[in-house]
Structure 1
């Protein structure tokens, strides 16, 4: 008998896996905070004998090197990946024994990266699961444009060929277990299902239902913006990530918070957007702990800039630290818990700004306010509010000077990114209203939508 346990990384939209038998197991694409994988192994009562990477990741810092060191496991990395540490180089067709009757076979599946490798788990010689990393995802494939622009077309074609190779050699009932595709920007689209098999992908995945030319054209046309911090993830993984430190940061009092803001550092309030709008430290910015914290903070903050975290509780702070180390933001400069009454000097009132819905925006006189759309280009292409200004949220910090004068009503698709944008505008001294509403409500409210 074998097992496969999933370690969800919901904030980043990824999955890691632990698979094995009665005594030993393999960890696939482990996250930076390896204690979750170790805890999964402990619950199963197994020893981790192997740690494998499907590729050098572009969207998170791997815990593979540290997990292998801690457990004494063999660390398998595709032979074509250029790294600065000792590992077991894996080539197409290599096999390793995991437990009695369980073997893992490497299959070269280039496309997401040139060296990408999938791993097929065999039970008694029968393929039962394929750990496909960023190759064949649920209903889609991994992006081919994260390595080098000159390689994008070639890698897109390689994705098509790799998907067909997996589909041709594996039985239809083989489980497809990708790393990406559950919210990660490494995926070319997002999964509509939670689980899949080779057979299901044959009928639903465009890599397997379209010919190569049509597939490549659709894939390249649908590529979206790349988070800026991705540029730092590959080099970090190639160099060999350091162990993480999740101990509590230095405690910041009101005076230090003010000093860090005055020095131009980022002070990030992790509370929900309603609480932030009602009262916050002037100059701080809002990235909800329950949103895609790691992705958007790492995307927006200048790389290496010190960050101070403000949380409503120690648990919220600890969870945020855990998410941030996964994208290389290793140690907050300082932190504080509680609320604005503890973060502001005595006698200083919290800053605030109003929230509204699209119905409130529809009630404004035409031309009397600035409407700022912070959705991505691909979202806006489907339709936008007539007369609105468009600056994607990940570009806003560097383009604040382009926002026209006047009160700014800022919106996204659901409210989370609008809250981030509103906090950036508020910190810059602008009058702002955060539209906390789903974009589908815009037309219902009577706002005129236009499209190309």
Structure 2
């Protein structure tokens, strides 16, 4: 029998993957993202027809495209019968088999842990695959705390059991195809590698190497913050989200931009942190498209605040818009393209950038405050002595806790520090943005470090 064709659709900014699987004629899709035009384009290029869509769980980190894709294609939309949803779906349960075609036979396997109703899908046959969603990941598992701390321990125990069920019921050669784990905050820990099998996972995955008590303890102890916008994803997905409108929003001129900034709306500069620091419209925030743009914007913005995008080109704005609809930010107030002189007649703002060596040198001569915008677990492991830790995602709510006077802002590599520095600068603070690698440089230049890794 001919091997199935399994194609991966990467969404690197969210750390997720979707899958299109076909036999040369018909295809099924697992966990599609909101912008389903990517799936449809891939299916067209493969000359196949999408007949089935499978959802592993009600996602917490993005708005699904499953319902919209099924509506567009007429495909059967398989969602766990136990999930409370407000749309018509093809309810599926543990153990049920869907014959997509003669060579594509998919079996649902209950794998609770990331959520209570999580399903994995085993593609049976001579070339087996298992699509594990947020269950078994590469060297890790999906985090168990997204439904609240009250359920975290129970779900961690279920996650351990689900991992063992997969290796017990499926052949070791089965290729593991997770949705999460490539930088996604849905992963309990950092994932390892780019491909795997169940046999390989038995050699490396903590869920399969540790007993349940040790796994639960280490998993819960290792959990860090996750984006605030996750709270809005479950309800959106349970409602059956529509296909997004990706037509560019209206253009905003200089006067409109000034009015929006004065009104407290978010005007977001999509350029790189280097370009932003060299010159920007005062009051704007820098969320560069060269990093996890939508994750951090979605985490920080008060939900429902109007957003205007500033980009070098319409293509850049369109990319940002696509990123935002994936997390349910559909309505943009406007956009403008070009460079800062096209966006204001006033004086441009700049942000001084520096390295950890610069910080060490300055500290020999005068006192400066250091703001660490990394997440708590990162800070606990190692940090500059005396640094104040306010995680970037919490900075809007904790602005009053930021040090006064000259503030040197740092993260792990520079992306988050630029966002934090732009936010502080927009609120009248004097900032220096550290554009440097913390792990590689901070300990080498004479800065005193504290934390579990520094002791």
Cα separation, 1, equivalents of 2:428 and 2:262: 14
Q: 1:203 to 1:365 in 2, by over 3 A?
A: closer
Tell whether 2:191 aligns with 1:191.
yes
What secondary structure does 1:66 align onto? Answer: helix
Report what 1:356 is aligned to.
354
Q: CA deviation at 1:44?
A: 1.1
Cα deviations by residue, 1:412-436 (Å, 9 ceiling, x for unpaired): 0100000000000110111111000
Tell whether 2:412 aligns with 1:413.
yes
How many residues matched?
A: 448
Cα deviations by residue, 1:326-363 (Å, 9 ceiling, x for unpaired): 00111211000001110002xx1211111010111111
Cα separation, 2, equivalents of 1:234 and 1:175: 28
- Residue pair 2:277, 2:352 contacting (<8 A) in 1 also: yes
Report what 2:379 is aligned to.
380
What secondary structure does 2:91 align onto? Answer: strand
Report what 1:58 is aligned to.
60
- Alignment counterpart, residue 41 of structure 2, candidates 36, 39, 42: 39
Cα separation, 1, equivalents of 2:161 and 2:451: 36
| Bigger shift: residues 184-193 or 3-12 | 184-193
1:205-354 to structure 2, matched below 5 A, reads: 205-345=205-345, 348-354=346-352
Cα separation, 2, equivalents of 1:68 and 1:268: 34
Cα deviations by residue, 1:107-146 (Å, 9 ceiling, x for unpaired): 01111000000000013xx461000000000001001111
Q: CA deviation at 1:147?
A: 1.3
What secondary structure does 1:4 align onto? Answer: strand
Cα deviations by residue, 1:54-73 (Å, 9 ceiling, x for unpaired): 00000000000000010000
Cα deviations by residue, 1:213-258 (Å, 9 ceiling, x for unpaired): 1111111111110210000000000011122000011100010000
- Residue pair 1:96, 1:104 contacting (<8 A) in 2 also: yes
- Residue pair 1:201, 1:208 contacting (<8 A) in 2 also: yes
Cα separation, 1, equivalents of 2:268 and 2:101: 46
Cα separation, 1, equivalents of 2:98 and 2:397: 49
What secondary structure does 1:420 align onto? Answer: helix
Q: 1:245 to 1:364 in 2, by over 3 A?
A: same
Cα separation, 1, equivalents of 2:163 and 2:292: 29
Q: CA deviation at 1:194?
A: 0.2
Cα separation, 2, equivalents of 1:283 and 1:436: 21
Report what 2:427 is aligned to.
428
- Alignment counterpart, residue 365 of structure 1, candidates 340, 363, 366: 363
Cα separation, 2, equivalents of 1:219 and 1:127: 32
- Residue pair 2:36, 2:243 contacting (<8 A) in 1 also: no
Cα separation, 1, equivalents of 2:447 and 2:140: 34
Cα deviations by residue, 1:170-217 (Å, 9 ceiling, x for unpaired): 111100000000011001012220000000001100000001111111
Displaced runs of 4 or more, over 4 A: none
- Residue pair 1:50, 1:73 contacting (<8 A) in 2 also: yes
Cα separation, 1, equivalents of 2:404 and 2:131: 52
Cα separation, 1, equivalents of 2:412 and 2:363: 23
Cα separation, 2, equivalents of 1:221 and 1:267: 37
- Residue pair 1:32, 1:62 contacting (<8 A) in 2 also: yes
Report what 2:20 is aligned to.
18
Cα deviations by residue, 1:82-106 (Å, 9 ceiling, x for unpaired): 1000001110111111222220000
- Residue pair 1:21, 1:100 contacting (<8 A) in 2 also: no
Cα separation, 2, equivalents of 1:402 and 1:140: 35
Cα separation, 2, equivalents of 1:404 and 1:8: 39
What secondary structure does 1:173 align onto? Answer: coil
> Given the two structures, how large is their TM-score scaled by the length of structure 2?
0.97
- Residue pair 1:20, 1:99 contacting (<8 A) in 2 also: no
1:101-112 to structure 2, matched below 5 A, reads: 101-112=103-114
Cα separation, 1, equivalents of 2:21 and 2:169: 21
What secondary structure does 2:77 align onto? Answer: strand
Q: CA deviation at 1:378?
A: 0.5
Q: CA deviation at 1:450?
A: 1.3
Cα separation, 2, equivalents of 1:353 and 1:322: 28
CA-atom RMSD, angstroms?
1.0
Cα separation, 2, equivalents of 1:9 and 1:410: 29
1:386-405 to structure 2, matched below 5 A, reads: 386-405=385-404
Q: CA deviation at 1:148?
A: 3.0
Unaligned regions of 5+ residues in structure 2, if any?
Answer: none
- Residue pair 1:245, 1:331 contacting (<8 A) in 2 also: no
What secondary structure does 1:83 align onto? Answer: coil
What secondary structure does 1:319 align onto? Answer: helix
Q: CA deviation at 1:404?
A: 2.3
Cα separation, 2, equivalents of 1:81 and 1:387: 47
